[in-house]
Amino acid sequence: MDDRMNKNKPDEVEIDLLELAGVIWRKFWLVFIGAIVGAGLAFAVVKYGMTPKYQATATIYIFSKTTSITSLADLQIGSQLTEDFQIIAKTRDVIDSVIQDLNLNTTYESLAARVTVTNPASSHMLRVTVQDTDPTWAAKISNKLSDKLRDQIAEIMNTDRPSVVERATVPKAQSSPHVRRDTVIGALLGAMLVMAILVIRHLADDTIKTSDDVHKFLGMDVLAEFPIIREQGSSRGRGGRYKHKKRAHAASR
């Protein structure tokens, strides 16, 4: 009964992590080549296949210069109101007015997707960030958008325009893509791909090569090993060289 149950059980596959590590280590030169190829492809795509983008940020303070303690209490300016201003900054009226004033060749959807308005924690400031392929235009659009947002806030809240904390300046470095970071990621992905191929090929290879494989796959013990003599050179010559190889023969006990 036990034998029948054992026969019906599926074969269990044991994975030796040390053995897999040895497989990867023996083919480490392939892993290294994979990393180099991955890094080279990533660098080429990022450097020559992607358009650099720049970010410029303007910061405004939602309180005006004439804001008093009484008006603060009346307006209930706080974190919740600041969130409302973040929504106002990306409304169609504000975005379209920026497009019209700067005579931009773009649409509301396209510009709104490149605008980010954030509120630093525990503050009453708004950071208006614009991303563009031209660093000069990124700064211009950010400043114009912050001005339009100040006008809109003053009109909605029936108060003075919020103050400007910092005007956007022309960025000197691109914000994306990150050439160095993406190149490192490409190298890691290339190395991981080669290691995955090596592991899969090793696990899929069920041929018997050593006496340990006989015991592992067949459950048998090796009784003896004898060499196979393969002749090299001419079969007629008597002085040919011979190459010895060992073949394991298994027998069940």
Assigned token pair, 44: 């080429």
Q: Are 249 and 214 in contact (CB under 8 A)?
A: no
Q: What is the pLDDT of residues 208-217, one digit of tens each?
A: 666 666 666 6
Termini Cα distance of the chain: 22
Residues 17-44, mean pLDDT to the nearest whole number: 89
Of the ranges 57-66, 69-78, 85-94, which one carries the lowest mean pLDDT score?
A: 69-78
Report the mean per-residue pLDDT for the chain: 77
Q: What is the pLDDT of residues 177-215, one digit of tens each?
A: 888 889 999 999 999 999 999 888 888 876 766 666 666
The C-alpha atoms of residue 159 and residue 63 are separated, in whole angstroms, by: 9
Residue ranges per structural domain of the chain: 14-50+177-205, 54-166, 208-253
Q: What is the pLDDT of residues 123-169, one digit of tens each?
A: 778 899 999 999 999 999 999 999 999 888 888 877 778 888 899 99
Q: What is the pLDDT of residues 38-67, one digit of tens each?
A: 999 998 888 888 888 999 999 998 765 555
| Alpha-helix residue ranges (DSSP H) falling in the chain | 2-8, 17-26, 28-48, 69-75, 79-88, 92-102, 108-113, 135-157, 179-204, 211-213
More confident residue, 141 or 15: 141
More confident residue, 171 or 75: 171
Instruction: Report the CATH number of the 54-166 domain.
Output: 3.30.70.1130
Query: Which helix H or strand E contains 55, and what residues bound it?
Result: strand 54-61
The C-alpha atoms of residue 128 and residue 232 are separated, in whole angstroms, by: 79
Residue 73 pLDDT exceeds 60: no
Strands 221-232 and 163-166: unpaired
Residue 220 pLDDT exceeds 80: no
Question: How many percent of the chain have pLDDT more than 90?
Answer: 34
